[in-house]
Each structure stands twice: as C-alpha cells, then as structure tokens.
Structure 1
Amino acid sequence: MHQLRGRDRRPARRAAPASASAGRAASPVELAGARVVLVGYFSAKEKRFGALMDAAAAALTARGARVEGRIVQRRGVSHGGVAKMTWPFSSRTLLGSGKVREVAAACEAADADAAVFVASLTEHQQCVLTELLGCRAVSLSEALAAG
C-alpha cells in the first residue's frame, strides 16, 4: 500500500530503480525552429523583469526559436505575498498551481515544443513540469548552452 504524503494526501510515487534513471540522459534542447513559451519567475524586488524577459526572448530568437508566448509570475507583489518573499521556491514546480495551469494552457494553445524558464530548474522540477505542461521544460541557461 502507498504511504500518504503529509499535506496533499495523494499517494507517494515509488522511486524508479537506480538503473532505469541512470541510463536515461536528457537529450539536448534543439532550438532551431522550435516553438517555445517563455516563463519568468521574479521577486517583486526585481523591477527590470520586463527587460530580462525581452533579453531572454531575443537570445532564444537569435538561436532560431520562435517565442509563442510569455508568462510571468512575480512573488511578493500582493499584500500577503510580501511575507513569503524569503521562503524557498516550490521544490516541485517552482510556480504556483494556478500559474502551472496557465502555462500548460499557453503551451497547448501554441503547440509549443518547449517551455523555457528564465530561472534555473532542478532535474526533478524539469521532470514534473514536463509531465504537467505536455512539452519539455528547460531552463534558459540549459537551452542557450545546447543551442
């Protein structure tokens, strides 16, 4: 029987055997001709988030990608969010659940090949987001390094 996780009461996933995950290497990100949705996650203290998104879009376009959409989540903008600015990011998805649904809808509408996150993503976040979004989730630094 599965053990229930503390907060959400969903059954925990069983870990894949070490040999299964060790043999899997992530394929490089191919940007030439790819349709991407650009996703930014910024603190409210970051006032230049628009310029950062523009620079990221320009870098992706220079490598042959077509930026089909942009989505930004800012942390600490609302009254209650200011108190949460020092909390760590979501270890599972980086974004809130509503924003993940918004990104998934944008990826589906654009028939995106990838969702490129301006922030760095862990391997776990990449796997979870890839599953939730229906397209590959990668960080901008990884996408630019591969292109």
Structure 2
Amino acid sequence: MDAVATELTARGARIVGRITQRRGVSDGGVLKMALPYSSRTLLSSGKIREVAAHCDETEADVVVFVPALTDRQQHVLTEIFERPTVGVSGITDTG
C-alpha cells in the first residue's frame, strides 16, 4: 500500500484514507478464513459500508484497490460507491 500511495501521490493524487480488510483477526473473521473473498466485490458487506461512508465523509473522487479488479468488480464497486473505482496492479512496475 505504501508503494502505491507514493506512486499515486507522485502522479498528483491526494490520498484521503487507507482501508484494509483483515480476515482472521476477530473470532468471526477466523471462522471465515477458509471462505473465498466475494468474487463480486472482494469485500465483506461491512467493509463495503465502511468504505462507502469514508468516501462520503472525505468526498473522495476515486476509490483505488491495490489488487487488480475484473471488469465486473470494477462496474459493481463503481455503482456501490457512486464514484469511479479502479484496481491498481503493479503500478510501481509500470512507472
């Protein structure tokens, strides 16, 4: 996340927050470790609410995911967050 934030800042972006989805930290999360991430959104419903609220509070223009997103994930997340959502994969490699 640090490398991506550094690269985006160098390209003129203003980072308004970072949110990490951690599985296995809480008792409920431990139970979900064997389950795959949502192929539709990569996030749990609670994390989606957290990201959406943060976007609204900070008036974020774009949501950036560190992993690459499929076209479907990008479309679904853009609709949910009501702002462009993109995945960044290897941004520091592409310069």
Please classify the TM superposition score into its range, dividing by the shorter chain length. Answer: 0.7 to 0.9
Q: Which residue of 1 aligns with 2:26?
A: 78
What letter is aligned with 2:71? Answer: E
Contact persistence 1:116–1:140 (CA under 8 A):
yes
Q: Which runs of 5+ in 1 are unaligned?
A: 1-52
Q: What CA distance in whole angstroms lies between the structure 2 residues aligned with 1:98 and 1:73?
A: 10
Highest Rg: 1 or 2?
Answer: 1
Greater strand proportion: 1
Greater helix proportion: 2
Identity %: 61
What letter is aligned with 1:89? Answer: Y
Q: What CA distance in whole angstroms lies between the structure 2 residues aligned with 1:63 and 1:141?
A: 16
Q: Which residue of 1 aligns with 2:76?
A: 128
Q: Which residue of 2 aligns with 1:92?
A: 40
What displacement does 1:110 show?
Answer: 1.8
Deviations 1:103-135 (A, max 9, x none): 111111222121001122111111111001011
TM-score by length of 1: 0.57
Number of aligned residues: 94
